[in-house]
Amino acid sequence: MAAILWLTTGVNADQNDERLDPLFDELQSSPGVNVSSVIEQQIWVLWSRGPTDEATRQLRRGVRAMQRGEFDDALGMFDQLIDEEPEFAEAWNKRATLHYLRGDISQSMADIEQTLTLEPRHFGALAGLGSIFARLQQPAAAIRAYEQVLDIYPQSTQSQRNLERLRQEIEGRAI
């Protein structure tokens, strides 16, 4: 808890925050799911803080609108945020999630690509890409995406489960 408080106080963050590198190192060497889960949350805290206080507030407003199902409002907020802060990876990632929820897969993929350009370690965006490929019934591409997640975040139980399910699917087709 103290570590999360340390991450949420003080300066603005984003994917360029100097505290991320040691967190990703810890995530790689984490001895188990419980520890890695705490590290994951710390990473998300930093990713979700924008380069300015207003960017952080705008991201939160967009996420709340998306959670309430107010997709048009959320899209407007994310579009405005990206126009104002085009280097803020989490803004692109949240808009990618929104596009996915709206069924606009091609736009979701484009926003994931931009997220990964800005933050290549974004395991959330990679997992989203895996979900898209699975939805498009492209299991080999989905497997590659989930393997990339596990290269960054070896303890990701969701990606482990998705990978296993996809491999079983492919094996079942081969029989």
Q: Is the pLDDT assigned to residue 5 strictly greater than 70?
A: no
Question: Cα angle at 90 between 111 and 161, to 5 degrees?
Answer: 80
pLDDT, tens only, 18-55: 999 999 999 999 989 999 999 999 999 999 999 999 99
Q: So what's the pLDDT on residue 175?
A: 59
Same-domain pairing of 99 and 78:
yes
Domain membership of residue 21 (yes or no) is: no
Side chain identity at 2, as an amino acid letter? A
Tokens of 170: 């492919």
Burial classification of residue 71, based on how many CB atoms lie within 10 Å of its CB (0-12 exposed, 13-18 middle, 19 or more buried): middle
Concatenate the DSSP letters of all residues of 102-166 into one string: HT-HHHHHHHHHHHHHH-TT-HHHHHHHHHHHHHTT-HHHHHHHHHHHHHH-TT-HHHHHHHHHH
Q: How confident is the model at residue 3 (pLDDT cuts 50, 70, 90)?
A: very low
Whole-angstrom distance, CA of residue 144 vs CA of residue 139: 9
Whole-angstrom distance, CA of residue 57 vs CA of residue 122: 21
Taking alpha carbons only, the member of 9, 12, 94, 114 closest to residue 55 is 12
Same-domain pairing of 132 and 69:
no
Same-domain pairing of 138 and 87:
no
pLDDT, tens only, 11-27: 566 798 899 999 999 99
CATH number of the structural domain spanning residue 98: 1.25.40.10
Of 72, 103, 119, the position where a domain reaches its end is 119
Domain membership of residue 16 (yes or no) is: no
Domain membership of residue 158 (yes or no) is: yes
Same-domain pairing of 146 and 160:
yes
Domain membership of residue 1 (yes or no) is: no
Tokens of 52: 């300015």
Arithmetic mean of pLDDT, 148-152: 97
Domain membership of residue 132 (yes or no) is: yes
Same-domain pairing of 132 and 151:
yes
Residue owning tokens 């596990």: 150
Same-domain pairing of 75 and 97:
yes
4/73: higher pLDDT: 73
**Segments forming the whole domain that contains residue 148:** 121-175
Q: What is the pTM of this model?
A: 0.90
The number of C-alpha atoms within 13 Å of 170 and in the hemisphere containing its C-beta is 14
Same-domain pairing of 130 and 163:
yes
Same-domain pairing of 137 and 106:
no
Q: So what's the pLDDT on residue 174?
A: 66
Same-domain pairing of 137 and 104:
no
Which helix (H) or strand (E) segment holds residue 162: the answer is helix 157-174
56/6: higher pLDDT: 56
Q: So what's the pLDDT on residue 94?
A: 98
Domain membership of residue 2 (yes or no) is: no
Domains of the chain: total: 2
Same-domain pairing of 111 and 56:
yes
